[in-house]
Structure 1
């Protein structure tokens, strides 16, 4: 019998399907994994904007993670929207005995500017230090660096984990993603910006793709390179029109 590696995603729920847990599950299955998930927060949103958020009870999140760990222990974990220190603390405690690659996308605000983390960023630090890789864009990297009183390029040393600083939030026709390692070396990935309005959930999708490839035992640098190349392909294939705002990429 063929088996697929299990990837557990802990993320918010986007009812439009373009971001959050639904985008994670689509990505995981597209890349050959089996996705399980725990919702950390409910959102009221569509392709145009986020209207409201509500955190899930931390005790429910803890119980759901424990139930999954008993029956379908993951080969990798992806973490997205956390929302509050209480949820962050619950997940940190729930994963304290689990060993494996953990990819964390520090979702601080939506692409439309709606705040998605409602406590000081310093409350994220214990979980960030547990990560194998974090995937902030430039704005998120700046905010995390301010919380740690360091420069963005020094985040890997301050946190003890690899940092993929993505360039999608910067202007220009060419994007550069920087993989920064705690050992001091870095690798850059430069690629053209795909001309598409369908970019909703790209951060969720990229981090889920990397987690899935790490679950398949690929080295970190190879997993990052393959995930970025796959994202480029799926963005280029996103020729559909879903909603009136920034539509989703074509995951499958």
Structure 2
């Protein structure tokens, strides 16, 4: 696929093919580095019964919280959801299915899915509810739990810069779950703050190679909210 065929006008066109009941993988940590434009279009699209894989679920009125407001998500696979009161309400009422996953394990499940690895063993979660119903094996006298790799129908990531082939550069903390998420979608959509020509990015600075990205567009109107702002007096 040539670079030009990967470039889309906006989030609306880049999300063509999204349907009910799909599994979506989203990069970002808290509200840092989340694909704001893609989430906004998803919230207006009307798609429902989604399984969303994301470190967290945004806040009540931003990020994935917008999809929760619309009751578009049937299941969340997440690590940290403590900033969203609506998430708690939907979970406690039985309207939302939740699969909690340790943060490092979640990152590795995305990476494994993108690498074509069906599963891996980790000591994290052994002896807790996380391990219930999962295979346990001993290696060198220590117990490990089998975790499955994750692959999504679509993956959505947000980068600082990208070129028309889909090579991506993430800035600072936004290089969190985004690189792993980018590998784990059958179709990966990248929104970038700046879209440049092929060859303009320093190859040594590229965090995600374009081979993982099928669609890319230059986003706009980023709010870049902060969940908890702490400043000196």
TM-score (normalizing by structure 1): 0.33
| Greater helix content | 1
Q: Which has the larger radius of gyration?
A: 2
| Greater strand content | 2
Which one scores higher on RCO, CA 8 angstroms, separation ≥ 6? 2
